[in-house]
Amino acid sequence: MLRLVNEFIALFVVIDPIGLTPMFAALTAGGTEEYKRTMAIKGVLIAAVILLLFALLGDAVLHLLGIGLSAFRVAGGILLLLLAIDMLFARHSGLRSTTFRETREAEQRDDISVFPIAIPLIAGPGAFTTVLLALRSVHERPLESFAAMGVLLLVLGITLGALLMSAHIMRLIGETGANVVSRVLGVLLSALAVQFIMDGLRHGLLSR
């Protein structure tokens, strides 16, 4: 149970539904309510499929490349730590948002569900890393893995709700409020990232 709670916290912090609302509101500004609802639903569904496929095939890819789980834990922990630093300082780097050129390209698109909503705003590098670490035992402990997939779907469901209510959330907390929430979540993510690094180093040294 504790593991599932940790996985929920990690996924919630990395995907950051509240932090996504200002970006979603900006990208869909001027659109009809039906357009916003369609983009939110399609974006979350596409991100769910991508993340679940990555969770199922990630171990095989690592094995094919000769990358051990300990090394991936350390690398993933470093990546999540960089993401946490971005969140703490309310910076929008390529880890958790689009670049300027990508944003300009997205503004010219009618369908923004795949890019940039699904990738990279929801299914970004941090989400890929967290999902693979959370669901790495899909073949060894299927019951726990199915529970972890349920946690992922729960977080994505919360994300969908946040996107659908983005206008209300922005009126309630504003850009500053969203940044405050992201900073608080960044503190939690930094601790989780350090834990990933420590676990990877410990398991790597013990396996020698």
Domain extent at residue 199: 2-206
pLDDT tens digits, residue range 69-109?
788 888 888 888 888 888 787 666 555 555 556 566 555 56
pLDDT for position 99: 59
Q: b/e string for 131-166 if b means 16 or more Cβ within 10 A?
A: bbbbbbebeeeeebbeebbebbeebbebbbebbbeb
The average pLDDT across 38-65 equals: 90
* Tally of domains in the chain: 1
Pairwise CA distance, residues 12 & 191, whole Å: 14
| pLDDT band, very low/low/confident/very high, at 136 (cuts 50, 70, 90) | low
| pLDDT band, very low/low/confident/very high, at 166 (cuts 50, 70, 90) | very high
pTM of the prediction? 0.81
pLDDT tens digits, residue range 59-69?
788 888 888 87
E strand or H helix at 176: helix 166-206
